[in-house]
Amino acid sequence: MGFLDIIPKMELSFIEDGAHEIMLTNEISKTFGLNLSSQDSREIIIARNTTLKDYGRIEVDTEITRKIIMQFCSSPYIQQDDYMETIIEIQDLFHYIKNELDDNIGDDELIEKLADLYNYKCFGVFELLEGRETENIIRQYKFGDDYDQELKEEIDELN
């Protein structure tokens, strides 16, 4: 009874269940004018499964995707027409960084950091987040830069 024997069976019935859980986030996101349809939700789950497979990772539920949605739905830089794609991109980046850091960063910590960077340093430009800022995160956690402190100072200034 290998581990992989268990997970795929769960996944087959997981897409619909997962999509349903994703759609529950609309309760909060609608206050920011954002909404995910059932189709959007399914696509997010399917993209998430592809990401996990590509990066050789597993996830036991949809908590991470929901946390990403909750953290980013309040961003002033996300509009309805790019909402689903942005969530998919952030999801992918999240798992990429988790792999690079050998899971040595908590989920909440990483999601909050990505949201802060997206909003206060990248001003909604995902390519900047994916490029320069991701490299900085990885360097900070691997080699212990003072990166975090600089970001905190910048956020404080803007606020």
Partner 1 sequence: MKSIIGINKEALDQNQYLASLINEGMAAGLVGVEFSKSISFDLMEIFKEVMRMYTRGESTTLKAETAEGLMQSIVYSLDLYLMKYSAPEDAILHLRSSNTNMFYKEAIEYVKHYIEETKNLYRAIETKRIIIPNVVYNETFTKAIPDFFANYDVIFSAQDTSTDIDYPLVFDDMSIKGIMYIRRYLEAFQLENEFCRKFNPSNITALLEAYGKFNRLNYEQSPINIFELIFNNIVFLTLLDKNKSYENLFISAIEFEMIEEQLNRLEKSEIKNLISEGINRVMHNLEINSGNLRDLIYRYSDSMMIRLENALEHGNLRNMVILEVVTQYKEQTVLEIGYRMDNKAFRFVYRKIMDCSTAEDKMILLAKYVHSLGDFVDLLKADCFYEKEYDYVFGSLGNLELSTLITSELKEYILRGEDKLSVLFSNTIVYKYAWEKALIDWLRAVDKSRLQDIELLVHKNLVNEIV
Q: Which two tokens stand for residue 134?
A: 């991701």
Shortest Cβ 79–partner 1 spacing (Å): 28
Cα-atom radius of gyration of the chain, to the nearest Å?
16
Shortest Cβ 58–partner 1 spacing (Å): 5
Residues 6+ apart with CB under 8 A from 70: 25, 28, 29
Q: Which two tokens stand for residue 46?
A: 């399917």
Shortest Cβ 133–partner 1 spacing (Å): 21
Between 15 and 128, name the residue whose CB sits nearer to partner 1.
15
Between 12 and 158, name the residue whose CB sits nearer to partner 1.
12
The single-letter code of the amino acid at 141 is Y
Between 103 and 153, name the residue whose CB sits nearer to partner 1.
103
Q: How far is CA 85 from CA 80, 108, 116, 140, 146, in A?
A: 10, 21, 19, 28, 32
Shortest Cβ 110–partner 1 spacing (Å): 9
Between 48 and 121, name the residue whose CB sits nearer to partner 1.
48
Between 85 and 107, name the residue whose CB sits nearer to partner 1.
107
- Applying CB under 8 A, the residues found at the interface with partner 1 are 1-7, 9-10, 52, 56-61, 63-64, 95, 98-99, 102-103, 106-109
Shortest Cβ 45–partner 1 spacing (Å): 14
Instruction: Write the DSSP string, 93-147.
Output: HHHHHHHHTTT-S-HHHHHHHHHHHHHHTSTT-HHHIIIIIHHHHHHHHHH--SH
